[in-house]
Amino acid sequence: MKKLIVLLLISSAAFAQQHTNKKHNFEDFNLIADIGEQERYYNEMIRQSLPGKLKPEVDNECRAQLAIGWLTKGDIGRYEHYMRTNPKFSVIKLVDLTYTLEYMVDEDKHIKVVEQASRDLLEKLEKGVLSDGVGRTQVLLEVNALANARLGNVDVAMKNIARSGEQKDNTREMKYFKDSKSKYLTRYCLILSAAGENKRALDTLTKAIRNADSNPKMVAVYKDIYKKVHGSTKGVDELIKSLQEKAYQDYYKEVEKTYIAKETKTITGEFPDPSGSGEMLTLFNADKPVKDIALTNLAEQEVKFADHAGKILVLDFWSTGCTPCVAAFSGFERVVADYKTEPFQLYVVNLFEALPTVKVFVARRGITLDVLRDEPNTAFNIMGTPTKIIYDPMGNIRFYAMGYAGSTDREYYKLKAMVEIVKARNAVAKNNQNR
């Protein structure tokens, strides 16, 4: 599992180094965000290559990418066209294809295509034609189960959702892929509902929302199943709000314990050695005040943190190959929306990567957060991602944390609690100064 997760981080770079010719190459192909433009580039790459000289591994990767890209776009015809060329899916492409199938089944789109595609992939995985190792078999079983439930094949759905829990590579509790457990529980309860077990589904979702194993999609499903159980949606909004408030308060209390009370503008962030040695390892070095630091945005403009004096400032460090980094973004977006009229600023700071790579990734994923870059990783010398640092309005570091919380709601509660605690402590400090 760990070796294959490392592969996810390096495989794109490896293919990027395989040029087909000086004018058209895989690196440039991979930096095109629009799928139509990408297909045109691929066709031109083939035309300009000598007969039989386009590297098979590059050709295969391009066809796999185009199949996934058209499926993501919703063009089933073009997807099926490239699938008929029988592309072999690398681990990273299997992950990308699974993401797309997850989105389609969860949004109830092209369900027959999803059922067929997920079934084909599962057969190839079972026969050893495809390699997994990162828990995608488990997710594909969930996807296929929900697709069958939506198609009325409840017995098949129940069988496959049960099989999903028997897989060796269980990633639901890893806090690595976005909303792994939340998505599973939502799909499981939709299948239970299709089987007529609405009360059981409602009880399962109630517990999930209370424990923050939830996301906005789950909440929408909860309302639908609540109506089936109670005959109306009367009282459901108040119940959901109560469950969410309890979950938030749990995280508020947990986060409050990590507040850095001493005023400090520089710090060496540390975390316990995961091996259990008892040693503390360095996470980052904030060796100068944030007001003295400036980074660039995607428009190559300089952003001076000194310009945000008087605001709560959140810096989250990420890279495009860091799956849990990007998984946290949807929670951040909700926090940004909550504080859009307040003195608050959040930046997601990309590390290690060139501007074109970051720009195309942001475009493809539809990331709306404010993105900065520190390609050489010199501003904070970050040792691991995801890492976040929270500054109070005076530039003091009040929190830092690493890792992904495991669900969109939990990530939202965690960061919101940090912001609220900083606001509360800052208000107390101001009142004391005015006495």
Which of these ranges, 30-34, 64-68, 109-113, 244-248, has the smallest mean pLDDT?
30-34
Place of tokens 């089936």: 228
* Contact criterion met (CB below 8 Å) for 82 and 63: yes
In the chain the first and final C-alpha atoms are separated, in Å, by: 58
Q: Which of 403, 387, 394, 402 is nearest to 422 (CA)?
A: 394
Pairing of β 344-351 and β 312-318:
parallel
Q: Residue 14's pLDDT is what?
A: 37
- For residue 386, pLDDT over 60 is answered with yes
Mean pLDDT over 382-404 rounds to 98
Place of tokens 């050893």: 128
In our burial notation (b when 16+ CB lie closer than 10 A, e otherwise), range 204-237 reads: bbbebbbbbbbbebbbebbeebbeeeeeeeeebe
Q: Residue 53's pLDDT is what?
A: 67
Q: Residue 52's pLDDT is what?
A: 59
pLDDT in tens, 301-314: 999 999 999 999 99
Give the DSSP H or E segment for 286.
Answer: strand 280-286
Place of tokens 């409602």: 202
Q: Which CATH superfamily is domain 260-434 in?
A: Glutaredoxin (3.40.30.10)
Model confidence at 8, pLDDT cuts 50, 70, 90, reads: very low
Average pLDDT, the chain: 93
Better-predicted residue by pLDDT, 336 or 12: 336
Residue 431's CB is within 10 A of a number of other CB atoms, namely 9
Q: Residue 338's pLDDT is what?
A: 98
In the chain, pLDDT over 70 holds for what percent of residues? 94
Model confidence at 392, pLDDT cuts 50, 70, 90, reads: very high
pLDDT in tens, 45-73: 888 876 656 788 899 999 999 999 999 99
pLDDT in tens, 137-192: 999 999 999 999 999 999 999 999 999 999 887 889 899 999 999 999 999 999 99
